[in-house]
Amino acid sequence: ESQPGVTWCSALACKFRLEPGEEREVMFIYAWYFPNRYVNWEQGYSPVRDEKSLFWVGNMYAKLFRGVEEVLSYVYENLDRLIEETMLFHDTFYDSTLPYALLDRVSANISIIRSPTCFWAEDGRFYGFEGCHGASTWARHGGCCPLNCTHVWNYEQTLSRLFPELERTMREVEFFHQQHPSGYIPHRVVLPLYLPRPWDKPIGGPEKPAIDGMLGAVLKAYREYLWGAGREWLEKIWPRLKRLMDYVLSNHEVDEEGGTGGERPNTFDVSVYGANTFIGSLYLASLLAMARMAEELGEGEYADKMLRLFERASRAYDRLCWNGEYYVQVCRDKSLEYQWYEGCLAEQLVGQWWAHMLGLGYVLPKEHVRRALLSIMKYNWRENFRGIPRQGRIFAHEEHPGLLNCTWPRGGRPETPILYCDEVWTGVEYEVASLLLYEGMYDLAMRIVRGVRRRYDGSRMNPWNEVECGDHYVRAMSSWSLLEAAMGYRYSAPSATLTFKPNAPLNPLRGFFITPDGWGTLLREVRGSVERVEVAVKYGCVKVRRLVLRAEGGWESLEVRLDGAQLKPRAVCRRGDEVVVEFRDIVEVEAGSVLEVVLERYGARR
């Protein structure tokens, strides 16, 4: 080991001789093999306080390879394929007409999965900190803010799309290991899993189990089902989902109108009180998700119960919290610390963000959702922070643009406001930008996206390291939703339904899409009165029984082709603002194939 202040340097060399004009390429493969991962982070919330024991969790790759020699052999023997598939993903992703700033922020945050923030343990399960130690933190290495923090991982979408089997293990840990017999789920995981769970004791960040993390567990379970987890998986987890919802309904003061009140610990590391749509919109979205899952499993009575609660609660939240411009926090006790009361919270529509991604519709009136988004941009967005006093951590410097977590445009900022109110979190910025895209407010959405990229352009801040409470912070993986919102695509594996209703006003619109079994490029191009939609698969297989497209006016004819050959749908119908193309059987679009829909609008042939 080198001494402090001394760095040892080394080099690899390969001796060979070159004749005049001759060239030779030498490949060096750098590999490692460390099978012994231990719990080397502080688990202050663990019921077992044993500082003399080093608990082993291992690494999954140690089960796949017996040593570094096998790793080297695998890479050498598969190098051409690995490079080819990597470049295929890269080239397909960037073969897009979407703005580069958006593509850059989506792709850069994929790297978080492979940073020290995350690890794949020997037991086959995926785990993650909130972030990892580095230049922005108090330590030099390892993860910070352990582990699988539900209220921060509420924002992550990237892993669920690229590696759904790994994401699924996080739900299984939550419901089959973490869940208390009464139904609640602590927001931090203790490892190894054979140790007692952090039940009935202070957890930290916040002290009590985070309600937004629990509601998010419902939404994430439904997401995993839609993304191919399967009916058997849903049936297995369903009783625990109902137990969790029973806990929410019993312990968060559901009033006669279906709304939740009382103390609600959350991702701001404090508890908030009273009616608000930050927690309330998540509650509303989770009720809709529970209703959908109940319908899938044939529990119509339970689904109806959830829908009745939703209808009452949605009306109550809108009546209580809408101030004409945005949704506020309604709480009788104005003396409490860490509340925002009359403030404009950037997070006031987080449940609507989830609802759009899952195809659940609106949880609050559409016109109020749109007006609230405009108010968030009007009051919380800053082109720079020169001369603006701020408390807390600085994630946007004076010359940078950014979206504040909370402002008080009508006055009334509490003496001790909601924690982190003056901070700028990229994960929240992406969430708001995605909502703007879903609502057709493209220019405002891109203002946020370009603002984040300006901060993380490499001149002062690392483009591959978006910081919050740690480097490579998990919340930033909400950026994947930008891609889905701009392209307007959504996939449901149970019904093999691919929805493609673009929100970016680009013609042609071309961009990356992914399903659980394959990925490729979606294209929508309008020339005169002819519209062409393409589903071009580059890798794997995309299964389609139903295509849902945006309908703009009427059409005279519609043709479907697979690799140029005509494909006759079972049915084509108009449903509101959608055209639904349904096939008799599942159409399997393999890599290299193209599924094409051509619509000729009225007057095209005249």
Could you report the per-residue pLDDT of 87-98, keeping only the tens digit for each? 999 999 999 999
Q: Is residue 564 predicted with pLDDT exceeding 80?
A: yes
CATH 1.50.10.10 domain span(s) along the chain: 96-487
CA dist., res. 425 & res. 432, Å (int): 11
Which sign, positive or negative, has the C-alpha torsion 376, 377, 379, 382?
positive
- What are the structure tokens assigned to 151, written together? 């209220």
- Across the range 502-524, mean pLDDT stands at 98
Please check whether residue 121 is in contact with residue 147, taking contact to mean a CB–CB distance below 8 angstroms. no
Can you give the pLDDT at residue 80?
96
CA separation for the pair 352, 366 (Å, rounded):
10
Tell me what the mean pLDDT of segment 2-31 comes to: 90
CATH of domain 489-601: 2.60.40.1180
Strands 530-550 and 497-500, bridge-based pairing: parallel
Of residues 98, 86, 95, 210, the one with CA closest to residue 151: 210
The closest of 373, 357, 481 to 426, measured between CA atoms, is 481
This prediction has a pTM of 0.96
Position 463 confidence tier, pLDDT thresholds 50, 70, 90: very high
**153-169 pLDDT, tens digit each:** 999 999 999 999 999 99
Residue 109, Cα to own-chain centre: how many angstroms? 11
Nearest CA to 437 among 391, 501, 388, 379?
501
**How much of the chain, in percent, has pLDDT values that exceed 90?**
88
- Residue 553: is its pLDDT beyond 80? no
> Which tokens is 279 given?
């927690």
User: What kind and span of H or E run contains 450?
Assistant: helix 442-455
Q: What is the pLDDT of residue 604?
A: 47
Give 178's DSSP letter: I
pLDDT for 198: 95
| CATH 2.60.40.1180 segments of the chain | 489-601
Distance between CA atoms of 352 and 433, rounded to whole angstroms? 12
Q: Residue 260's pLDDT is what? A: 64
Q: Among residues of the chain, what percentage have pLDDT more than 70?
A: 98
Task: Detail the DSSP E strand segments found in 309-457.
Answer: 344-345, 381-382, 402-403, 406-407
Q: What is the CATH number of domain 96-487?
A: 1.50.10.10
What integer pLDDT is reported at residue 606 of this predicted model? 38
**In the structure, what pLDDT confidence band is assigned to residue 137 with cuts at 50, 70 and 90?**
confident
Q: What is the pLDDT of residue 605?
A: 46
Distances from the Cα of 497 to the Cαs of 359, 434, 441, 547, 548, in angstroms? 12, 22, 26, 6, 7
pLDDT for residue 52 is more than 70: yes
Q: pLDDT-based confidence at 524, cuts 50/70/90?
A: very high
pLDDT: which is higher, 9 or 340: 340
Q: Which of 528, 298, 324, 539 is nearest to 410 (CA)?
A: 324
pLDDT in tens, 419-436: 999 999 999 999 999 999
**Average pLDDT of the residues in 26-53:** 91
CA dist 199 and 193 (Å) reads 13
